[in-house]
Structure 1
Amino acid sequence: MKTLTLLRHAKSGWDDPVARDFDRPLNAKGRRAAIAMGRHWRQIDLDFDHIIASPAVRVEQTLEEVESGYGRTLAPAWDRRLYLASAATLLDVVRELPDTLSRVLLVGHNPGLEELVLLLAGDSDDALRDAVEEKYPTATLAELALGADRWGDAKPGGATLTRFIRPRDLDASLGPDEG
């Protein structure tokens, strides 16, 4: 069975004066959230056979900070198609994966990641799915058991959402700002 994990980049700095959205960096809270997620991954011994990531600056920085908390080097394949990708594009990327891989991490952006989780998980009446539908915050991880032995067989409604971990679940100070 194939396991697909999705990580949304950490909180970025809208105040930073960059010319392109692609170049927007993380803010301080985003950096803290990514480190906390990495520490949690280490605690639950999360591992991947392969990582594919958007090459946007905020994704690169998210992975750098996750690494510092995780204590392991992450060596993603950078794929421009993941930058602001739709759920359909992300699903195409998943379906192209070699079947020799079992556990894959995609790191990218919303709304595509959230839409992909909801598409793959289908209309199940499940608390995790409801949480995704309510909001897929920055630096949040969603894990799906695809219910397939081949990546090419990933289909809408064919997966089970097994984890949905938000930074605020690990540290309340990483939740939404008050006010």
Structure 2
Amino acid sequence: MSVDTPRRIVLLRHAKAEWSEVDDHDRPLTDRGRKDAPVAGRWLARAGVTPDLTLCSTAARTRETWKLAVHELPQRPKTVYEERLYEASLGELLALLNETSDDVSDLLVVGHNPGMHALADALAGEADGDLLPQMHRSGFPTAAMAVLTFNGSWKAVEHGVGRLVAYWTPQD
């Protein structure tokens, strides 16, 4: 696959999680989260998003979000559970994207805030319509998704390289 191939990055924040007495990494989804995650999966399917690869944080809430969302897709992509996504900084997230094989055209990342919002904001050098202000106003709530496109190698992913082409929240 050429490094000039159009690529797509989908950033999905985990669905609503419990604030319980368990360790943060082990927090499960709330009832609302269990309802929102499949809705996010249906949006992905309707939008024609068919990831070649999904990187998912190892936290319970991200794994549960992905498990519920992926059942709504026409085909299950390869999924890698990545410890480094949990509590990842913007720099760490960019480094993970840079490690992606150029055989991957569409990448879905299931992670946490503030990282997912920061990454979407950092990558979006351009945006369709009013998507950027809409994303800023919403604050990237639970189960929100940003879809960005760019051309080039994953090794070249950096600030401003992408175009925000879709932004969705369960309240849309």
Q: What TM-score, normalized by structure 1, do the two folds share?
A: 0.86
Runs of 4+ in 1 over 4 A off after TM superposition: 123-126
Contact 1:35 1:70 in 2 (8 A): no
Per the alignment, residue 107 of structure 1 pairs with 110
Which of 144, 148, 169 in structure 1 is aligned with 2:148? 144
Per the alignment, residue 61 of structure 1 pairs with 64
Mark the CA change 1:51 to 1:88 in structure 2 (over 3 Å): closer, same or farther.
same
Q: Deviations over 1:69-123 (max 9, x none)?
A: 3354354101110002111111000011111111101110000110011111137
More helix by share: 1
Which of 37, 41, 64 in structure 2 is aligned with 1:38? 41
Contact 1:90 1:116 in 2 (8 A): yes
Contact 2:98 2:155 in 1 (8 A): yes
Query: What aligned pairs does 1:64-103 form with structure 2 within 5 A after superposition?
Result: 64-70=67-73, 72-103=75-106
Unaligned ranges ≥5, structure 2: 1-5
Quote the Cα distance in structure 1 between the aligned partners of 2:14 and 2:117: 12
Quote the Cα distance in structure 1 between the aligned partners of 2:86 and 2:154: 21
Is residue 2:162 matched to residue 1:159? yes
Mark the CA change 1:124 to 1:7 in structure 2 (over 3 Å): closer, same or farther.
closer
Per the alignment, residue 12 of structure 2 pairs with 7
Contact 1:3 1:103 in 2 (8 A): yes
Mark the CA change 1:129 to 1:38 in structure 2 (over 3 Å): closer, same or farther.
same
Is residue 2:25 matched to residue 1:22? yes
Mark the CA change 1:51 to 1:125 in structure 2 (over 3 Å): closer, same or farther.
closer
Q: What TM-score, normalized by structure 2, do the two folds share?
A: 0.89
Quote the Cα distance in structure 1 between the aligned partners of 2:73 and 2:101: 26
More strand by share: 2
Equivalenced residue count is 166
Mark the CA change 1:44 to 1:153 in structure 2 (over 3 Å): closer, same or farther.
same
Q: RMSD of the TM alignment (CA)?
A: 1.7
Quote the Cα distance in structure 1 between the aligned partners of 2:72 and 2:128: 34
Mark the CA change 1:139 to 1:90 in structure 2 (over 3 Å): closer, same or farther.
same
Per the alignment, residue 3 of structure 2 pairs with none
